[in-house]
Amino acid sequence: MARRSAKSAKTRKIPARRPLPPLRAKPKKPAVARTIKFLNPEGVVKPFSRYSQAADAPGGFRWLHISGQVGATPEGKILEGFAAQAEQTWKNILAILAAAGMGVKDLVKVNVFLTRTEDIADSRRLRDEALQGAAPASTMLIISALAHPALLVEIEAVAAKAA
């Protein structure tokens, strides 16, 4: 077998590469809405107090589902009277929101369970104070009892925030 000389190996031509096709710009994704839309559409009864008929959170939001909270302190003491229980219930919800890096403006749905019809007006007033102008979708139910006979109110909530 014949050996190639060192000189011929150095002068060997390398075939030219084909040029690469031009880079195509990636199609732009449509801008994603980063806020929750609260809706009170025409053709639906206007809310009876400060709440919205619906809350529309766009894709890519982080969701927080808050279990029913009651008027019990962090130490487990159930407070006496509707106003004290409702205030503590909202404090519990606000503390959970804060622990998740959220606030009242991130609430999209609130369900309020009352055991007495006479507490409706106070419940609405205390909700408005706690929510500081936020108006999430809301449901209020009057039920016969809660899990403990001393409980007068329970509130569950759902919040959403841009991820």
Q: Is residue 22 part of a domain?
A: no
Q: What is the pLDDT of residues 7-58, one digit of tens each?
A: 555 666 766 777 777 777 666 655 555 688 999 888 888 888 888 898 888 8
Q: Residue 84, exposed/middle/buried by CB under 10 A (0-12, 13-18, 19+)?
A: middle
Residue 131: CB partners within 8 Å, gap ≥ 6? Answer: 50, 104, 107
**Residue 75 domain flag:** yes
Give a yes or no: residue 5 inside a domain: no
> What pTM, to 2 d.p., does this model score?
0.76
What is the CATH classification number for the domain harbouring 126?
3.30.1330.40
- Token look-up 């016969």 returns 144
21 within domain boundaries: no
Number of domains in the chain: 1
Taking a C-beta distance cutoff of 8 angstroms, is the pair 94, 104 a contact? yes
Residue 12 lies in a domain: no
At residue 29, the pLDDT reads 55
97: in domain: yes
11 within a domain of the structure (yes/no): no
Alpha-carbon torsion 147, 148, 149, 154, what sign? negative
Cα separation of 58 and 31, whole Å? 11
Q: Is residue 125 part of a domain?
A: yes
Q: The domain containing residue 102 runs over which residues?
A: 32-162
